[in-house]
Structure formats: C-alpha cells, structure tokens
Homo-oligomer: A and B are copies of this chain.
C-alpha cells in the first residue's frame, strides 16, 4: 500500500471549541430563567470555559479523569461540554431524572472525581451522596443552598474567578475518551458509552450537512432535548462548530414556557421529544403564540404521530422532521428528510419514517436467526448499526449480546427500504417470535385499535408449544361496546399477514402502564404467567 502525504491531524473537541471561539466570537448563548434571560457571546463562554479548565486542573483534575455534570441545559453546561474534553478529561453527563440507586451506580461505576451541579437540583444529588465512593469535589453553579452536599464544595463562580485565564490545551490521540453517557434501560444497571474525540468531531460535522440538521451560523437553535441525555443529540457541539446562536431553556419545558421562549428569542431550529411538541401544540391551540421564527423542528426519542406533523404544518407552517438514534450512536444515525423528486403525497409517508440513514452510518436489518435481510421495505428484523460514531462495547461491561459481527444490535425492530429509510415497528423485547419469524406487537395493536368498538389494545408474546411464541391480544372496550373477539378477528384478518392472526384474546378493564404512560408489557406477561387473565382461545388458522 501507498501512504498518503496528508497531515496526521487528530480530530479533537478542542478544535471544535477553537473554531467557535476564533471565528464566531460574537455569536450568542442565551439561558432562560424564570423571569429573565442571560446572554453571553461565544468569546465570553470560551473565556469562561478556559477558566473552568484551569480551575479544574488546580483542583487536581487531570487527563482521563471523569467530571460529572448534574445540570440543566444552560451556559454552565455548555462551558463544561467545551472545557472538560478539551483539557483531556472526560465529561460524564448525569441524567437528573435517574432513580437515586441508578444515579449512585453510574457515578461510582464511572468513578467520577468531581461533579458540577445546578443549585436548584442539589437536593436530588444530595439524596445519594452517602453512597458515592469516588467523588472528591462538588462544584455548585448558582448561589442557592447547597448544605446537603458533604465534604469539599466550591461555588462555580468562585472557582472561575480564582482560576487563570489561559490554559495550555494538550494534544492526544483522537480515540481518547471525550465524554460518557449511560443508557437508562428499564431493567438491569445502566450501561456506559464512552465517546471519543474522533466520534464527537465526526458526529458534529455530520450534523451540519444540509441533508441532516443542516445547522449553520445563520441559525439560532433552541436546545430542548436535555444535555444530560445523549448529549442533547450532539447539538451543542455542532452549533458551536458553526457559530449558531444557542438558546438554553433549563427546566422551563412546558408548552406555555416554550411558547414564551420561542416568541421572545426567535430560534430558527429546535430539537426535542414528540411529547414536548405535543404540549406546545396543545398550548398554542388556546393561546396566542408566535412560532414563526422556526424553520425546522427535529423530533426523536420516540415515534412521531402523524397528527403532530400535520397540525404543526397546517397551523404553524412548521416542518417537523423525525430523527433516529440512541445513546450508543452518539446519537444521530438517521433523519427523515424525504428523498428528492417525490410527490407531495409521498412526502408525508417519508416524514413518518424514523429516519433515513445519514452518511457515515450503516444500518442493516437482521432476522431472528441472524440472517441479513434485504432492504426492501418489507422484511422485518432487528436494526443493526455500524459506523465511526457507534459504540463497539459498553464501558467496563461484558455484555456481548448487544453486538453482532462488529455491528451494534439496537433492540429496535422494523424495515429498511431501498432508499435507506427506517420504519420501526417494535422493540425486540416486545416482538413475538413465532416459528422463526417475527410478529410486530405494535402493528397488531394498531389494527385492533382501529376498530371503533375498541378503546385500547395491547399485544404481548406468550409461550406456545408449537410456534415458541404467539400473540395475546388484551382489549379494553370503548364505552358501551362489547364486540365479540371473533368479530374483531374477522375485522383485522385482511389487515395483517395471515399467519400473524392471534388465537388468544382477553378483555381488560385497563391496560397496565409504565410511569411514562407506555403499555407495561412486562406486567401483562407476568399476569398471564400467573394465570390471572381469562383467555379465549381460537383454533389456529380458523376465522
């Protein structure tokens, strides 16, 4: 082989920081408070990030040390995003919504030596401090009471004021850890993903593509998705790299609050989970709001209902674009921008997909048996992902079940079409493994619920001697309705593959739900196992 003559420059977060600082010094970072906004320039933020690095170093933080952040989306958090990786330490964003035992677990597992915490949520951190084994220093942002924190506590502003205003940024290999984030799985301990400088740099560059978020200096981005969750989808870095103005909403995330913030600060782009946009839409239907500054709203984290897309379009002229990714994928892996040269009708079909695979990421669909399926838009399997910003393992974890021949198994089930659009139909843990094939619980739920006599329907896998698993349909009838199961079966039969047609049906008063309102299928499966459900059984293949 012949080696190139190109410079061996590593891709480092420091260079993201340096570009925003050097060339976009007058771009703005705005933080929302209850009754006012603060505004700083990039030059000021970069200067404070430099002091933060100096101050952390003065307190003993060195290369590779983990520094936790327990912060809302605000300027302090952005300073931590810039300073900590750039100094060679590791930014560990802590999810403020974790259960206390999970919070203590991730801090101890990552061996955080310092935690930077917002004064308004000091209480949440205080609940677990007696379980922490590695933290030597708490740094409190704000003047609020922090007496619940034990040991060595300094104020963020005091640390910055006493720190030097310059810092000798080190250089190192690009696969050095820059940041880490734990997945918030519903079962077992959270698992850590360690991002590299390389992966963060590449991901940031990829988000500036006009076929992706397309963020540029012309934009002002309202970052609604939390910076403690999958790096706020990487937007703090991609925004800073190009010099976009940044609006940080902190904990003010209700529809009412967001309407006010958008009207006041006039962002051109925003990003957050669908429920946030639903709240905003609900508020706007009964109040006078001005959302006209928004050119683009990115929604991800769960599937976006069609009504949300059409209502935003029709009532506000705003395009909602779905994105797909996971903590394990940095996270951006797919964006549901419709393909070129499509008719208007098709456009909405494409917007309803989870996303189109972006350059840099590869996605494939794999059958339960491990075969790679055709990207034909029909073959259903588990999505597997590969690429330079996709994790190859979990931090200090022996989990091999999540990886397959160098690909990450995502746990999401669905189809991939010939243009790289992903449609997600299920999670692997909820899918029904029947005779070596998969049946989507979500699709059956949707067709059953499309019957007017049904209020809610939940489909779970139950054991079957012959087929390994078969679907059980749990029905909550609409008021004054009592459609016989046989009639429901006839109703759905033409709408699904014939071998999907469920034999097992039961009625429920109410479907058990999780704390965030999703069907709690684990509970239903346990009820079935204990014989607590009255199941009507039809003969296989009968109608």
Contact = CB atoms under 8 A, between A and B. Distances in A.
A106 to B, nearest CB: 15
Looking at chain A's contact residues, is the secondary structure mostly helix, strand, loop, or mixed? loop
Interface string A101-115: 000000000000000
A211 B218 CA distance: 8
B176 A7 contact: no
A50 to B, nearest CB: 18
Interface in A1-34: 1-9, 11, 15-16, 18-19, 22-25, 27
Nearest to A89: B2
Given A9-B386, A205-B360, A391-B7, A2 B177 contact: yes
A340 B218 contact: yes
A389 interface: yes
A241 interface: yes
A198 B10 CA distance: 11
A80 to B, nearest CB: 17
A406 interface: yes
Interface in A379-396: 386-395
Interface string A411-429: 0000000111000000000
With a 10 A CB-CB cut-off, give which of A5, A176, A242, A375 has the most chain B CB atoms.
Answer: A5
Give the oligomeric copy count: 2
Contacts of A388: 6-7, 9, 11
Given A210-B216, A211-B242, A359-B242, A9 B387 contact: yes
A172 interface: yes
Interface in A88-127: 88, 90
Contact of A210 (B18, B66, B214): B214
B359 A19 contact: yes
A206 B406 CA distance: 26
Nearest to A196: B4
A418 B394 CA distance: 42
A340 B243 contact: yes
A352 interface: no
A63 interface: yes
Given A7-B406, A9-B388, A242-B359, 20 more contacts: A2-B66, A2-B194, A3-B176, A4-B175, A4-B177, A4-B198, A4-B199, A5-B194, A5-B393, A5-B394, A6-B194, A6-B198, A6-B388, A6-B391, A7-B390, A9-B387, A23-B420, A205-B209, A208-B212, A210-B210
20 contacts: A2-B66, A4-B176, A4-B178, A4-B194, A4-B196, A4-B198, A5-B392, A5-B394, A5-B395, A7-B386, A7-B388, A9-B388, A15-B362, A19-B420, A22-B375, A23-B357, A205-B206, A208-B359, A209-B216, A210-B210
